[in-house]
Amino acid sequence: MEFAFYLSGLVAVLATLGVISNTNPVHGVLYLVVSLLAVALVFVALGAPFAGALEVIVYAGAIMVLFVFVVMMLNLGQAAVAQERIWLQPRTWLGPSLLAAALLLTLIATLWRGDVGMLMQGDLLSAKQVGTVLFGPWLLAVELSALLLLAALVTASHVGRQRKHGPEAGKETS
């Protein structure tokens, strides 16, 4: 499991560097998803499979849905379609694909060597226990984070709205 931990940690660091070094938001999100998957595998390697599953479901899934929602909300038009065709070239996917392949090989090697039994050391955390903690003593923090996400959504909607000035103000763009 040490091999899985260190290799997943390395992939997470490299993917995070890809997130912060890319100026293109699509490339950054691809690296972000790989980074989140790597962190989930780190959790699994440390013996916390439930935390790893939550990492994949909440972060990797929710961030991708949010990104798709923002792209749809902006309604960028034909210029954006042409730019997207350029972004979808195979070289765009090369870095995230290589890092994701390293994660997959790490997971396969861990399963092949039979280190899966090491995952079940210690107490298992159930979904009921997580819910009891989150909606018990941490209820205020959960509600405040929900309000923060709502404020971010309203702000993104406001910023994404196109303002029209001059003679073109009455025309709709398609």
43-79 pLDDT, tens digit each: 888 888 888 888 888 887 777 777 767 766 665 566 7
d(CA 56, CA 29): 14
Phi, psi of 165 (to 5 degrees): -125, 155
Q: Cα–Cα–Cα angle for 49, 124, 146, nearest 5°?
A: 65
Instruction: From first to last of the 174 residues of the chain, give the pLDDT tens digit.
Output: 688 888 898 999 999 888 888 767 777 778 888 899 999 999 888 888 888 888 888 887 777 777 767 766 665 566 766 776 777 777 777 888 888 888 888 878 877 777 555 555 556 667 788 788 878 888 888 888 888 888 887 887 777 676 555 555 555 554
pLDDT value for 33: 87
Helices (H), the chain: 2-21, 25-45, 49-54, 62-74, 78-87, 90-113, 127-134, 139-160
Give the Cβ contact number of residue 37 at 10 Å.
25
- Which two tokens mark 115? 């280190």
In one-letter notation, the amino acid at residue 161 is: R
Cα maximum dimension of the chain: 69
